[in-house]
Amino acid sequence: MLRIAVPNKGLLSDAATQMLAEAGYVTRRDAKELIVFDPANEVEFFYLRPRDIATYVGSGALDVGITGRDLLLDSGSSAQEIVGLDFGESTFRFAGPRGRFSTHRDLEGVRVATSYPGLVGSFLAAEGVKAEIVSLDGAVESAVRLGVADAVADVVSTGTTLRQQDLEVFGPVILESTAVLIGSRAELPGLSTFQRRIQGVLVARQYVLMDYDLPVELVAEASAITPGLESPTVSPLRDSGWVAVRVMVPRIGMNTIMDRLYELGARAILVSSIHAARI
Ligand SMILES: Nc1ncnc2c1ncn2[C@@H]1O[C@H](COP(=O)(O)OP(=O)(O)OP(=O)(O)O)[C@@H](O)[C@H]1O
Ligand SMILES: O=P(O)(O)OC[C@H]1O[C@H](OP(=O)(O)OP(=O)(O)O)[C@H](O)[C@@H]1O
Ligand SMILES: [Mg+2]
């Protein structure tokens, strides 16, 4: 029985639950449910705070989990990233009053507020910058105005929160984060099936199925435009001068691919969504 940690609240929670549902697993019926048993798939889901998930997985109490890369690194847990999940993207940055700081080296000797003290501490240590870290639970952007810190280090998404507090980012990007699947031990019963299912959801979201008809002499040129994952399926049509091609293409850029195929001579170019996949 694979034991899986899932965010119970916050930004990653809905997207993680949605991904599990698309992978064919039982998900919780209401937000108060903390443990969900899925006997048919031989997995058990533990809905936990995203910040705690790396700790549970790193300690071996749970086998795998979904959390943010920033939360994993901040925790100092020994859990390892298995695969990025394409949601919960954010950037982790330093910010301070306009014009006050230009590089992270200017943080020497000043107070930096953050709710990610592990992540910020190891970044500054690696850079040889000695700053005082002020550890807060959230809303860290207010720390400068309220005088408990000179700068902040926090998740930046749209930048609205920083602008509202008259703060600007400075210094290097500390981390590009995304939701990740994490694990501790390499070989576990059921882990490869779970990973394949998650991978299947990612593929179904990232790729579409493209069908088109093509004069037979253009197959090589069209295959260069749509090489597919292994190789395109090319089937004969009743008119022997034409073939039908079926191939997976990345969802992003599919319209450019359709334009190029049409210009090459392909016709009846159709795109369909993939509902599920095992690659
Ligand atoms: N706009 C955003 N604000 C905060 N976190 C974000 C944002 N976009 C993506 N994330 C990611 O979501 C994760 C944080 O989720 P979490 O639920 O802990 O945050 P939260 O909503 O701030 O929760 P809380 O404030 O209750 O601690 C991190 O991995 C973070 O990178
Ligand atoms: O760049 P933005 O789009 O403005 O988003 C970033 C802000 O959103 C998050 O705060 P959240 O709402 O999670 O509150 P918190 O600070 O209490 O965690 C994050 O901690 C930043 O404060
Ligand atoms: Mg937050």
Kindly state if the Cβ of 8 falls inside 6 Å of ligand 1.
no
> Ligand 2, atom 19: nearest CA belongs to which residue?
155
pLDDT (average), residues 164-169: 95
SS3 14: helix
pLDDT bucket at 145, cuts 50 / 70 / 90: very high
- How far, in Å, CA of 133 to CA of 153, rounded? 10
pLDDT for res 187: 79
Distance from the alpha carbon of residue 11 to the mean position of ligand 2, in angstroms? 10
- How far, in Å, CA of 20 to CA of 251, rounded? 21
Q: What is the pLDDT of residues 96-139, one digit of tens each?
A: 999 999 999 999 999 999 999 999 999 999 999 999 999 999 99
Rounded to two decimals, the pTM is: 0.92
* Residue to mutate (ligand 2; options 93, 145, 157; most atoms within 8 A of CB): 157
pLDDT for res 189: 84
H or E stretch including 120?
Answer: helix 117-127
Instruction: Assess whether pLDDT exceeds 80 at residue 219.
Output: yes
pLDDT for res 188: 85
Q: What is the pLDDT of residues 197-215, one digit of tens each?
A: 999 999 999 999 999 999 9
Looking at residue 31, its amino acid is A
As a whole number, the mean pLDDT across the chain is: 96
Distance from the alpha carbon of residue 10 to the mean position of ligand 2, in angstroms? 11
38 secondary structure, DSSP code: E
The four Cα atoms 231, 233, 239, 240 give a dihedral, to 10 degrees, of 50
Distance from the alpha carbon of residue 80 to the mean position of ligand 3, in angstroms? 23
Residue-range domains of the chain with CATH: 2-87+178-189 (3.40.190.10), 90-176 (3.40.190.10), 207-273 (3.30.70.120)
